[in-house]
Amino acid sequence: MKIKAVLFDCDGLMFNTEVLSQNMWRKEAEKNHTVIPDGFFSHITGARSDAKALADYPDTPHLKEVCAAMKKKRFDLSYWTSFSPDGLNKEGLLALYQYLEENHFKKAVASSSSVEYLQALIGTVSVPLHFDALIGGDLVKKGKPDPEIFLRAAAAVHEEPKYCLVLEDSKQGILAAKAAGMHSCFIQDTIVPDEEMKRAIESQKDNLEEVIELLQEGDNNGI
């Protein structure tokens, strides 16, 4: 099946922000004399809210206070925009973007983060990146793993879900892509797939540049 649109997640997929943000979480937890529980990041990575994670770890002391503090720190635009040009880029970002441009694929970013945050990160790239749509979590009612954000992105670029390829690094995003009826490619960052996630992953690559091979294969044989 021919892919006509590629939908990017942002954090941990386009930019190396998840590792940095997890370090922030751990430092904030230390300040509050607690430890981030195992599995916590799998709950919040790719999600719009940390409510489920809080509910699943009710016995972790001061976790609510840590979450409240991190809401301010995690999306401090002045911090992220202080990086040097291309300092946050994940491997293969520019190569894949150039390929998509040259081959006239439609491109959208569909992330649980706000549009303002997406624009700030995209602005750290040394060359202008032009997307047909930027869909942030502030534009939808339901966050991943609900498919709403990907379906809205597909509508914004005027393509049917079956012609869309979702690039994701999180469990929430992979499940949302499957629920949306879209193709998906998992590129691992900080999240190790569990059994549920493994069943939902359609394809997997080591970096963004390798997605080019996937699209070339799909053009000839279907994905």
Cα torsion for 111, 112, 117, 122, to the nearest 10°?
A: -10
Residue 72 pLDDT class (50, 70, 90 cuts): confident
- Is it the case that residue 16 has pLDDT exceeding 90? yes
User: b/e string for 54-81 if b means 16 or more Cβ within 10 A?
Assistant: beebeebeebeebbebbeeebeeeeebe
* Average pLDDT of the chain, as a whole number: 91
CA 123 from centre of chain: 17
Domain ranges in the chain are 5-16+85-221, 18-80
Helices assigned H by DSSP within the chain: 18-31, 40-44, 51-56, 63-73, 77-80, 93-102, 115-122, 148-156, 171-179, 195-200, 211-221
- Is it the case that residue 164 has pLDDT exceeding 50? yes
Higher pLDDT residue, 158 or 59?
Answer: 158
6: which strand partners? Answer: 107, 165
Residue 13 pLDDT class (50, 70, 90 cuts): very high
CATH architecture group of domain 5-16+85-221: 3-Layer(aba) Sandwich (3.40)
% of residues, the chain, pLDDT over 90: 74
**pTM, whole model, 2 decimals?**
0.89
Higher pLDDT residue, 62 or 179?
Answer: 179
Give residue 112's pLDDT: 92
Residue 77 pLDDT class (50, 70, 90 cuts): very high
Q: What is the mean pLDDT of residues 100-108?
A: 97
**Amino acid identity of 10?**
C
Give residue 222's pLDDT: 45
